Amino acid sequence: MAATIKDVARACGVHVSTVSRTFSAPHLVNPATRSRVLAAADDLGYRPNRAARALTTGRTFNMGLIVADIANPFFPPLIKAAQAQARGRDYHVFVADTDEDPRVEEELIRTFAKQVDGVLLCSPRLSNRMIERLAEDVPFAVVNRRVKGMPAVLMNVAQGAKHALEHLTGLGHRRIALVSGPIGSWTSNEMQGVAAEAPGLDLVFFGPNQPTEAGGLAVAADVAACGATAVLAYNDLVALGLIEGLSAMEIGVPDQVSVIGFDDILPGRLNRPKLTTVAMPAAAAGRMAVDLLLQSGGEGATVTLDTALIVRESTGRAQ
Amino acid sequence: MAATIKDVARACGVHVSTVSRTFSAPHLVNPATRSRVLAAADDLGYRPNRAARALTTGRTFNMGLIVADIANPFFPPLIKAAQAQARGRDYHVFVADTDEDPRVEEELIRTFAKQVDGVLLCSPRLSNRMIERLAEDVPFAVVNRRVKGMPAVLMNVAQGAKHALEHLTGLGHRRIALVSGPIGSWTSNEMQGVAAEAPGLDLVFFGPNQPTEAGGLAVAADVAACGATAVLAYNDLVALGLIEGLSAMEIGVPDQVSVIGFDDILPGRLNRPKLTTVAMPAAAAGRMAVDLLLQSGGEGATVTLDTALIVRESTGRAQ
DNA sequence: TTTAGTCTGGCAACCGTTTGCAAGGGAGGA
DNA sequence: TCCTCCCTTGCAAACGGTTGCCAGACTAAA
């Protein structure tokens, strides 16, 4: 059996409360006693039981992290960064995957509610109203969504979309297809907003779509048929699917159609042609979100991170 | 404040123990009382506090899942499957990333030890000796490693490597480069074992290497220089980096050099040329590992899952 | 009607830690 | 020398559940 605080107390002849204080309020215990306790604890391999601690303090030192799909390469860097940051704050992270299903998302939040000190909601698929309601049960920090009075980390998608469109117009493109993602996604809305007010452009909207390669593959034919010479895709996965679909139809990228994605995920960097994309600061967002959650305890504060257009090989001059 | 068992008890005029039993041993309470309790619990939105339960029962209903690198596309499908399986067993999963560092791995296990019922070790970088020692603190299930007396999920790498080599020899390749991964990795050992006893082959070993794109990129020049007409790479990421490096040197794949990877990750499917690879059943492994851990409680039992060679575009006839 | 047996639900101890309260001892000031 | 005050430590009550034990109410058999 693992050593408990009692074993340590017995081992060096003090009361359990003294041992407890040695760890949680060291300044309250005599240095001599403290080092005796520390020695004994080390000797017995004592580690405080977090569950027991949570019981009295009400703090679990755990946090939840909910993403739509772990298998989407956009999330792992974010998760990784969030975890590292949390570990530095003595927190542990429960990662969960909703399979893009709002109902699963809700259930997951409810389950987490009692056993974590806060939840990081990354690219949620739930409605704002629902999120606000669930916030009564547990503090949130949200990534890629603006919810009233809630700490949020946003990525400047509008800026990125603007740069992407400028890049395309600079290459002579006029008729541009906009391939959006799932309903309720922040990125989709931002993209469309920017595009809608771009002057002198001939836009064609396609959506909603699955935010995956399959989603891109599925609309490829429609996009090809609409006569656009360039495409702005919801994310890199969709862009990659699109390129796949277009090549299957013998349509060359970027020779006949230019494609831009969002995220800057690994497969895009490895693809032929290498994908031109708007890089999202996923790791930074993960770190910020953790800090925001821990500092604010769920109170509002918004951080917006810059995005950057990375021009690679999937965009070129309009025919 | 969240409703506790006491609130429920008060709400329907029974003792807390009755409420407790309604959930943990329903057959011990009268159906009429039971439904009254259930109604009250539902009404108050009561959810048992897992930390408190863990305190008395000694079971946390949490499990740890440790991987070398979440950002390696091989792991997300495994994690996802493990999580789904765990959820079905009313378990939650803590995912952690060791950054390929054995020391971090050890520290992580120690931290987990007291707060989970078991740990899934995926592709560990720790030595067997160390793993056996740590197993005294917490039950393990291991993926991609064979440790004495410990439940393990293995992937039949040997079989896959054999098929891959047969495929290559069938295409006329004789001099084949073997690009291995990190020291202590099961896959590396298996690969080398099989290759070493393949008859009539002219093998060149390169390793150890980082199991990433960068690792592949770094050995590309050496591989090119050694005169091999085909490469068996530690994993898809390495294979992709290799292809990248070879193209930079104007060496065509598969025209001049054939490349085979392991894992069958998304970027490989999307790459040009599409990667020929040995598919690893990652999702199945995740599910099996969870079940093994929960059933065996750390006692030995080994499951070996089949792999499959997927021939795509990165392999061709030897010059 | 008595007796034994079965259901049901209350009681209280316990899990490992934290924390407010109070007591004892020693130091410093008057 | 006595009185304060501070420092250190012990005591005990929580935190939210679980569970062995016991007692009362019923049922069924004798």
Tell me which DSSP letter residue B25 carries: -
**Minimal CA separation from A148 to chain B, in Å:** 22
Q: Is the pLDDT of residue B297 over 70?
A: no
Q: Does A212 touch chain B (CB under 8 A)?
A: no
Angle at B103 between CA B154 and CA B186, to 5 degrees: 20
Which positions on strand C lie below 7 Å from a protein C-beta?
7-12, 14-20
Cβ of B20 less than 7 A from strand D: yes
**How big is chain A, counted in residues?**
319
Among B92, B117, B138, the residue to mutate for chain A (most A Cβ within 10 A) = B92
All residues of chain B having their beta carbon less than 8 Å from the beta carbon of residue A47 are 110-111, 113-114
Which of A71, A113, A272 minimises the CB distance to B80?
A71
B231 neighbors B239 (Cβ within 8 angstroms)? yes
pLDDT at B292: 95
Within window 1-30 on A, which residues have Cβ closer than 7 Å to strand C?
Answer: 1, 4-6, 16-17, 20-21, 23-25
Q: At how many degrees (to 10) do helices B213-225 and B236-248 cross?
A: 50
Closest nucleotide over all strands to A51 (CA to C1'): C16
Chain B residues in contact with A60 (beta carbon < 8 A): 51
Please tell me whether any atom of strand C lies within 7 Å of the Cβ of B6: no
Tell me the C-alpha distance between B165 and B176, whole Å: 9
Residue with tokens 């800090």: A291
Dist CA A258 CA A273 (whole Å): 11
* pLDDT value, residue A297: 64
DSSP label of A41? H
CA A111/CA A148 separation, integer angstroms: 23
* CA–CA distance, A298 with A140 (Å, rounded to integer): 5
A114 and B270 within 8 Å at the Cβ level: the answer is no
Residue nearest to nucleotide D9 (CA to C1'): A18
* Helix, strand, coil fractions of chain A, as percent rounded to 5: 45, 20, 35
Please list, in sequence order, all residues whose beta carbon lies within 8 angstroms of the beta carbon of residue A203, skipping any fewer than 6 positions away. Answer: A175, A176, A177, A178, A195, A196
For each of chain A's 319 residues, which pLDDT tens digit applies? Answer: 689 999 999 999 999 999 999 999 999 999 999 999 999 999 999 999 999 999 999 999 999 999 999 999 999 999 999 999 999 998 988 888 998 899 989 988 988 888 899 999 999 999 999 999 999 889 999 999 999 989 999 999 999 999 999 999 999 999 999 999 998 788 888 888 887 888 788 999 998 999 999 999 999 999 999 999 999 999 999 999 999 999 999 999 999 999 999 999 989 998 888 999 999 999 999 999 999 999 876 677 899 999 999 999 999 999 8
Asked if B71 lies within 8 A of A76 by C-beta distance, the reply is yes
Is there a contact between A83 and B60 if contact means CB atoms under 8 Å apart? no
